[in-house]
Amino acid sequence: MMRREIRMLVAGIMIGLAAASAAFLFWNRGPAGSAAEAVAPRPIADEPRQATEVEQAEELAVQLTADEQRQIGLQTAEVRPQRITEQITAAGRVEEPETAIRTISARVGGRIDRLFVNFTGQPVQIGQPVAEIYSPEIFTAAEEYKLALENRQHLAVSQQAAAITQADALVEASRRRLELWGLNPGQIDELVTAPETPIHITIASSATGIIRTRNITEGQYVDAGAALFDVIDLAAVWVEADVFQSDIGRIRPGLRAQVMTDALPGTTLRGIVSFIKPQSNPESRTTPVRIQIDNAAMKLRPGMFVTTVFDIPLGANVLTVPRSAVTDTGTGKIVYLALPDGVFERRSVETGTPGKDYYPVVSGLSEGDRVVTNGAFLIDSQTRLTGGMTGLFGGSTSFDSHRITFRIDPDPPMGARENTVHIGLLDPAGNAVSDAQVRMTVVMPAMPAMGMPEMRGSADLPWSGSEYAGPITIATAGSWNVVVEARRGTQLLATYRTRFDAR
């Protein structure tokens, strides 16, 4: 019995020890993915840095022979100061000048018995007869005037000064009445000389222009003051240009403007901004700007659609470069500077707001520099393809007969590690040149479809006693463009280009 109890006790102790061990292991084990089980972090590979446009523009050039320049029609222009203007273009339409509208009215009531002007658009001159009106009031006033004249004539032989003065006043008053009803001196004199008092009075035009509206017909009775015709003078017209709100801040009264229309091909009319309307159109986001145009020859007619161009002065003595010379890369602007010996160097420039034909230069160029105006696109394409100095139509080019030899170890080079470059530079006599600055640049073009930016690396190679040698790191395996340039100060001695596929 005792032996059995001892065996049970030993078994219980062993079970307790096993349970305690399991609990200890459970509580001291870290949670999944904890720092206790974490391995050392993986090193992050250096991501290739995409070169900026300014860095790409540095020391990129191309050399062309005279024949090559002729083949691409290359032209250059000088960078120089001059007056520069910006142009803002807007659509417009010809409007009637409100200030040139005149009304021919009847100063006395009566019946229109005859019209001398029968349709709108008919031209009239000031003083030209436009209608004939019968008015009993005019007939009565004319009789009174004739009687006043006769009375004064009878009193002329009288010695009564007061009576003569009174007769003169009556004549003057009756004549003045006829004048206020619109009769001119000739018509009034005709009343006196006519054997019988006329019963019709001719109404003359009080303005020169064209008939805008006709408000009467023959046989119609009109009251005193009734508008018979509206006349408008189109010797000057208004052009209302719809200027976008982004440009309206630069428009001001007095600004010069040009007006063109397809009704007058090859003709440019000029005018002055006379008024800017205070309201804008919320739908088109434009503001009407009024231009006063001389139209003595009637070239413009109300309702015509025109194109307007405003000349905005940007400065009278501004350093400028032709617009055709500037290439906009999206992140900056570049030009190609014409240097001696047919060398065209890529140059990053900063420009201001462009004018019609020129950019104002803020930085990057100096007065007297010459830039490529025609052919710059071909040169830019070549430098982007090769990454450096080369002839435009194939083959590497040397300057002044200097020659470069190239070797890399290992060959082909290895990606993601250092490789050793060996460069030889010989002068025209075949002697080694030891006082040059030699730089090697490698470029892997961007591959947007794969989400890869352009990769670029460079190394300055020192003189080793017999050659220029040094290490260069090739970032990754793949195809690389290679450019080697040798300079002495600012003088470019030679260049060499090639390609290799790194392993």
AA identity, residue 24: F
Does the residue 39 lie in any domain? no
What integer pLDDT is reported at residue 16 of this predicted model? 54
Tokens of 338: 């014409």
DSSP classification of residue 460 = E
What integer pLDDT is reported at residue 133 of this predicted model? 87
Looking at 199, 214, 232, the residue that finishes a domain is 232
Residues 93 and 198 in one domain: no
CATH of the domain at 252: 2.40.30.170
The DSSP code sequence of 127-150 is: T-EEEEEE-HHHHHHHHHHHHHHH
Does the residue 21 lie in any domain? no
CATH of the domain at 208: 2.40.50.100
Residues spanned by the domain of 200: 99-232
Q: Where residue 283 falls among pLDDT bands split at 50, 70, 90?
A: very high
AA identity, residue 390: T
CA-to-CA distance for 172 and 158, rounded, in angstroms?
19
What integer pLDDT is reported at residue 153 of this predicted model? 75
Q: Tell me the per-residue pLDDT of 56-107, one tens digit each, with 9 for 90 and over.
A: 444 477 778 888 788 778 899 999 998 888 889 999 999 999 999 999 988 8
Residues 180 and 111 in one domain: yes
Sign (positive or negative) of CA dihedral 65, 67, 71, 77: positive
Residues 187 and 267 in one domain: no
Q: Report in angstroms the alpha-carbon separations of 43 from 47, 217, 241.
A: 12, 100, 64
What 3-state class would DSSP assign to 22? helix
What integer pLDDT is reported at residue 50 of this predicted model? 43
Residues 108 and 94 in one domain: no
Q: Could you tell me if 59 and 440 are in contact, meaning their C-beta atoms sit under 8 angstroms apart?
A: no
Task: Write phi, then psi, for 418 (nearest 5 degrees).
Answer: -80, 145
CA-to-CA distance for 52 and 453, rounded, in angstroms?
11
Residue 461 has pLDDT above 50, yes or no: yes
Burial code (b: 16+ CB inside 10 Å, e: under 16) for 241-275 equals: bbbeeebbeebeeebebbbbbeeeeeeebebebbe
What 3-state class would DSSP assign to 268? coil
Scanning the structure block, which residue is given the tokens 């790194």?
502
Residue 346 has pLDDT above 70, yes or no: yes
Looking at 188, 216, 232, the residue that finishes a domain is 232
Tokens of 319: 């350093």
What integer pLDDT is reported at residue 328 of this predicted model? 81
Residue 400 has pLDDT above 50, yes or no: no
Residues 92 and 240 in one domain: yes
Task: Write phi, then psi, for 68 (nearest 5 degrees).
Answer: -65, -40
AA identity, residue 54: V
Q: Could you tell me if 145 and 213 are in contact, meaning their C-beta atoms sit under 8 angstroms apart?
A: no
Residues 480 and 455 in one domain: yes
Does the residue 119 lie in any domain? yes
Residues 217 and 271 in one domain: no
Does the residue 350 lie in any domain? no
Report how far Cα 392 is from the mean position of its chain's Cα atoms. Answer: 34
Residue 28 has pLDDT above 70, yes or no: no
Looking at 314, 329, 350, the residue that finishes a domain is 314
Q: Where residue 38 falls among pLDDT bands split at 50, 70, 90?
A: very low
Residues 196 and 244 in one domain: no
Does the residue 358 lie in any domain? no
Residue 25 has pLDDT above 80, yes or no: no
- Long-range pairs for 192-197: beta carbons < 8 A, 24 or more residues apart: 192/145, 192/146, 192/149, 197/139, 197/142, 197/143, 197/146
Mean pLDDT of 3-26: 49
Mean pLDDT of 290-318: 89
Average pLDDT over the chain reads 80
Residues 103 and 225 in one domain: yes
Does the residue 117 lie in any domain? yes
Total tally of structural domains belonging to the chain? 3
Q: Could you tell me if 241 and 291 are in contact, meaning their C-beta atoms sit under 8 angstroms apart?
A: yes
Residue 141's contacts (CB-CB under 8 Å, 6 or more residues apart) are 174, 177, 178, 181
Q: Report in angstroms the alpha-carbon separations of 364 from 170, 225, 347, 360, 442.
A: 89, 73, 7, 11, 26
Q: Where is pLDDT greater, at 125 or 165?
A: 125
Does the residue 483 lie in any domain? yes
Pick from 320, 351, 321: nearest CA to 336:
321
Q: Where is pLDDT greater, at 472 or 109?
A: 472
Residues 223 and 120 in one domain: yes
**Residues composing the chain:** 503
CATH of the domain at 459: 2.60.40.10
Residues 115 and 209 in one domain: yes
Does the residue 496 lie in any domain? yes
